[in-house]
Amino acid sequence: MKLETGSLSLLYKALEQLETAFAELPDCDVEVNMEALQSTLLAAADRMRDNYPYFHPLYAGQMLKPPHPIARLAYMLSLWLNPNNHALDGGRASSAMEKEAVAELAQMFGWQAHLGHLCGGGTMANLEALWVSGRLKPGKMVAASAQAHYTHERISHVLKLPFQAVPCDRRGRMDLNALETELKRGKIGAVVATIGTTATGSVDPLPDLLALQERYGFRIHADAAYGGYYILANNLDSETRKAFDCLSRVDSIAIDPHKHGLQPYGCGCVLFKDPAVGKLYKHDSPYTYFSSTELHLGEISLECSRAGASAVALWATQRLMPLVPGGQFAAGLEKSRQAALLLFGKLESDSRFRTAFRPELDIIIWAPRADSASRTSRLSREVFESAAKRGLHLALATLPIELLGKSWIDMEWDQDQITCLRSCLMKPEHLDWIERIWQILDELTQR
């Protein structure tokens, strides 16, 4: 196969356009030693060959999705300036583009007024949201489900906030009865609702969590790093849809454009419903060069220097494919979900495999059928390896008996966790490749 390079010619055009802004400046040529560059760059290309083909539909494993060509081009374009979105002096245009792109993300969740900015990724976005929660509810606990991203417990340690894990139901969603028992003790200040868990794409029951919030008065932070964009999809199951429909009522949201938003890595986003939390970031630094009264993104961000390139790429992507239901971007997500349901259906109705539960988004957990947890784990690893030899790349996931024990009751649980297979069908192209993927799985599990 060939990598897409045809669009690169546009980069020259765009650079010429950019150049016209600086035509008045005296020349200052940058010397490049092409020979040295070439040998070094080819050495890098050689090293990069040791990767799985993340961009290809036969890569159906971990959470990896290639950036859209427009994101790649816009990102590269901005590197000739290398803007820093810490302050307006370092990235005037790209800061304005960031504010526009972030407002579009907030709008997607139904927020007109908001405070938000891009950041390095979901970890930073969640860190800021929990930091704000901790400032507003000092000393109170953070609660998140046992299937929430492990980052929440770690972040809580960093912030010196006590952390409480809440058990999950058999579909990997927070058990609200268990949460309420904790709430009654009166120590919980913030609950993280995961909108698409990293392992299984499960969506916490947000409508009922909001009902609990009315009674117990805690903050809700939605970790929608993975699943947030699915608010645009028209093919969610009704319960999942209901959770997305009330996302606008939470206090803060983390979303990762570098997961489902077609962006290169280094692009997360944190959003707050109440812009007044901005005052918590207040500082008085003599180092930064805040030159105007307009909002500098560095004033509302824990990170200081940040790639303006990320904002330029996101802005361009959203301009090409607006974040609206029924649009081209939404159609891509719908295809991913359709692909997941299609593969899930095949696995579910075939006696060679076990599935856990119907996917809520586009992540499937499954395993070759065996009678014990240890044998299943071994078979999963065998399938993982023999699929890779045939060019199909899956991922392994080790999940606890607390999650899968309730689904796989006929299995001998001779160990307290089990290694399964996990496929994140994040690429719209997966839909057209399910038959091929199935054919490979069918062949290698014939015996």
Ligand X SMILES: *Cc1c(COP(=O)(O)O)cnc(C)c1O
| CA 208/CA 191 separation, integer angstroms | 13
- Is residue 256 a contact residue for ligand X (CB under 6 A)? yes
| CA 377/CA 385 separation, integer angstroms | 13
- Is residue 226 a contact residue for ligand X (CB under 6 A)? yes
- Is residue 422 a contact residue for ligand X (CB under 6 A)? no
Q: Could you tell me the smallest distance in angstroms from the CB atom of residue 192 to ligand X? A: 9
What tokens appear for 225 in the block?
Answer: 């790093």
Q: Could you tell me the smallest distance in angstroms from the CB atom of residue 198 to ligand X? A: 4
What tokens appear for 181 in the block?
Answer: 């028992």
| CA 111/CA 104 separation, integer angstroms | 9
- Is residue 198 a contact residue for ligand X (CB under 6 A)? yes
- Is residue 147 a contact residue for ligand X (CB under 6 A)? no
End-to-end CA distance of the chain, in Å? 31
Number of amino acids touching ligand X (CB under 6 A):
13
Candidates 347, 341, 335, 346; CA nearest to 380 is 347
- Is residue 257 a contact residue for ligand X (CB under 6 A)? no
Cα 330 from chain centroid (whole Å): 16
By beta-carbon proximity to ligand X, the closer residue of 84 and 123 is: 123
What tokens appear for 138 in the block?
Answer: 């000092």
Q: Could you tell me the smallest distance in angstroms from the CB atom of residue 427 to ligand X? A: 17
From its phi and psi, is residue 139 left (phi > 0), alpha (psi between -120 and 50) or beta? left
By beta-carbon proximity to ligand X, the closer residue of 88 and 143 is: 143
- Is residue 94 a contact residue for ligand X (CB under 6 A)? no
Q: Do β-strands 163-166 and 268-272 pair in parallel, antiparallel, or remain unpaired?
A: unpaired
CB 269 within 8 A of CB 119: yes
DSSP one-letter string for 121-174? SHHHHHHHHHHHHHHHSTTPEEEEETTS-THHHHHHHHTT--EEEE-B-TTS-B
Q: Which of 99, 114, 117, 149 binds ligand X (CB under 6 A)?
A: 149
By beta-carbon proximity to ligand X, the closer residue of 88 and 340 is: 340
Candidates 23, 50, 193, 223; CA nearest to 121 is 223
Q: Which of residues 260-279 bind ligand X (CB under 6 A)?
A: 268
By beta-carbon proximity to ligand X, the closer residue of 154 and 375 is: 154
Q: Could you tell me the smallest distance in angstroms from the CB atom of residue 377 to ligand X? A: 24
Candidates 135, 141, 117; CA nearest to 192 is 141
* Stretch of 218-226, 335-343, 395-403, 416-424 lying at the interface with ligand X (CB under 6 A): 218-226
Candidates 308, 306, 310, 309; CA nearest to 298 is 306
By beta-carbon proximity to ligand X, the closer residue of 92 and 154 is: 154
Question: Which residue's beta carbon is nearest to the bound ligand X?
Answer: 122
By beta-carbon proximity to ligand X, the closer residue of 157 and 215 is: 157
- Is residue 204 a contact residue for ligand X (CB under 6 A)? no
> Count of alpha carbons within 13 Å of 14, Cβ hemisphere only?
18
| Matching residue, tokens 């200081």 | 304
Q: Could you tell me the smallest distance in angstroms from the CB atom of residue 46 to ligand X? A: 28
- Is residue 194 a contact residue for ligand X (CB under 6 A)? yes
Q: Could you tell me the smallest distance in angstroms from the CB atom of residue 67 to ligand X? A: 14
| CA 161/CA 145 separation, integer angstroms | 16
Q: Which of 88, 188, 206, 225 binds ligand X (CB under 6 A)?
A: 225
By beta-carbon proximity to ligand X, the closer residue of 93 and 146 is: 146
Q: Could you tell me the smallest distance in angstroms from the CB atom of residue 125 to ligand X? A: 7
- Is residue 178 a contact residue for ligand X (CB under 6 A)? no
Q: Which of residues 101-140 bind ligand X (CB under 6 A)?
A: 121-123, 126
Q: Do β-strands 395-400 and 417-424 pair in parallel, antiparallel, or remain unpaired?
A: antiparallel
| CA 161/CA 139 separation, integer angstroms | 6
- Is residue 223 a contact residue for ligand X (CB under 6 A)? yes
Contact characters 27-66, ligand X, x per CB under 6 A? ----------------------------------------
- Is residue 337 a contact residue for ligand X (CB under 6 A)? no
- Is residue 151 a contact residue for ligand X (CB under 6 A)? yes
Rule CB under 6 A: which residues touch ligand X? 121-123, 126, 149, 151, 194, 198, 223, 225-226, 256, 268
